[in-house]
Amino acid sequence: MIAHLMAGLLVLQTPAAPAQAVDSPTATLIALYDGARDADTKETIIRHLGGRGDQAAVAKIIAIARTDADSELREAAIRSLADDGSEARTTLLLQLYEEQRDSDLKETLLRHLAERGDLRITDKLIAIAKSDPDDDLRETALRHLAETPGEARTTLLIEIYDGSGSTDLKETIIRHLGERGDGKASAKLLAIAKGDADSDLRDAAIRQIAKDNR
């Protein structure tokens, strides 16, 4: 009797053999990506990884966005990451912007960031428009800032104009003011046309006023 009980205890105490591990679809996609040589195939895999949304898939896409040697694949990864509209994903995109050295990819990030309704994005666009050493990025930030209607945004553009020492940047702002058509924009253009010390800026303002009066 005791022998039977001891045998039963031994059976209960013996751990079951672990089930054979089965690769998840995400792991399979990551392996396919790492083994692929064709950029189109890799882009397709990035799209499907983005659709899965699990932690491993997101981690892989972030790694691609940060370090892949192919800038087009990094851009595809950024697009995939931008599909998530959460605040956490906005934070990640801002972080990627700071880490990125490629101007074209920075412009891609700005485009996706500008589409998000987060006050941090406006602050970032203002900072870039005012002081980024890259002229193209400053102009991109200005363009996105100018997409928002209303006199409050016109006031912001005027503040950036008044604080800038770059003629090129000021000409860009004059063009945006000319496209806005509100009272503050018209008044600023008239003030520039009448009294700016730079003749090129006076001419630019006059051109915008002339367009408005056609």
Identify whether 57 is part of a domain: no
Number of domains in the chain: 1
The pTM of this model reads 0.79
- Percent above pLDDT 70 for the chain: 88
* Within-domain flag for 155: yes
pLDDT computed for residue 12 by the predictor = 37
Is 101's pLDDT higher than 80?
Answer: yes
Mean pLDDT computed over 18-44:
84
Torsion of CA 106, 114, 129, 209, to 10 degrees: 130
Provide the pLDDT for residue 181: 83
Type of residue at 106:
K
**pLDDT grade for 212, boundaries at 50, 70 and 90:** low
The confidence score (pLDDT) of residue 213 equals: 57
How large is the average pLDDT for residues 173-184?
Answer: 94
Confidence at residue 96, expressed as pLDDT on a 0 to 100 scale: 96
Q: Is residue 165 part of a domain?
A: yes
Domain with 181 in it = 148-214
Q: What is the pLDDT of residue 17?
A: 37
Distance, C-alpha 53 to centroid of its chain: 18
* Domain assignment present for 69: no
Q: What is the pLDDT of residue 117?
A: 79
In this prediction, what percent of the chain has a pLDDT beyond 90?
A: 83
pLDDT band of 211, cuts 50, 70, 90: confident
- Let me know if residue 191 belongs to a domain: yes
User: Which of 14, 90, 76 lies closest to 48 in space, CA to CA?
Assistant: 76
Does residue 76 carry a pLDDT above 80? Answer: yes
Residue 111 · residue 123 · CB < 8 Å? no
Mean pLDDT for 156-177 is 94
Q: What is the 3-state secondary structure (H, E, C) of 21-85?
A: CCCCHHHHHHHHHHHCCCHHHHHHHHHHHHHHCCHHHHHHHHHHHHHCCCHHHHHHHHHHHHCCC
Based on the number of CB atoms within 10 Å of its own CB, is 207 exposed (0-12), middle (13-18) or buried (19 or more)? middle
The answer as to whether 65 is a domain residue is no
pLDDT tens column, 39-59: 999 999 999 999 998 999 999
Give domain status of residue 17, yes or no: no
Tell me, what amino acid is at 7? A
**pLDDT beyond 50 at 208:** yes
Q: For position 203, what pLDDT does the model report?
A: 97
Residue 14, in any domain of the structure:
no
- Round to whole Å and give the CA distance between 25 and 80: 18
